[in-house]
Amino acid sequence: MSKTPSPCIDVCKFKRAGHCIGCSMTKAQKKLFKSLKRDEHREAFIDMLMSQQSALGKYSHWQVAYAKKCKKKKIKPPKALKAAA
């Protein structure tokens, strides 16, 4: 089974109080995601990230970009992403 891909959408500009303008992750969160090996932990991270994006605002574009990334890698998007769509 393929792993849930990184929530990074390859923008990587940390301008919003240390949060990336593309995915809302901080540099520490990006490093943390890379260390997650179990898919259920990766999906839980995506859930947390979506909550963070909602609280921060200005990240409505992320879900569309991440869904495309999952489709390109032929991986089903996490359940949280499907529920939000």
Identify whether 4 is part of a domain: no
Regarding beta strands 19-20 and 14-16, do their DSSP bridges make them parallel or antiparallel, or are they unpaired?
antiparallel
Give the amino acid at 71: K
Model pLDDT, residue 26: 97
Identify whether 9 is part of a domain: no
Model pLDDT, residue 84: 64
Range of the domain at 19: 14-84
Identify whether 8 is part of a domain: no
Identify whether 52 is part of a domain: yes
**pLDDT tens digits, 66-83:** 999 999 999 988 877 766
Average pLDDT of the residues in 37-42 = 93
Identify whether 5 is part of a domain: no
Residue 3, pLDDT above cutoff 90? no
- Total number of domains in the chain: 1
Average pLDDT of the residues in 24-29 = 97
Residue 85, pLDDT above cutoff 60? no
Q: State the Cα–Cα distance between residues 5 and 8, nearest whole angstrom.
A: 8
Q: pTM for the whole thing? A: 0.88
Residue 35 banded pLDDT, cuts 50, 70, 90: very high
pLDDT above 70: percentage of residues in the chain: 93
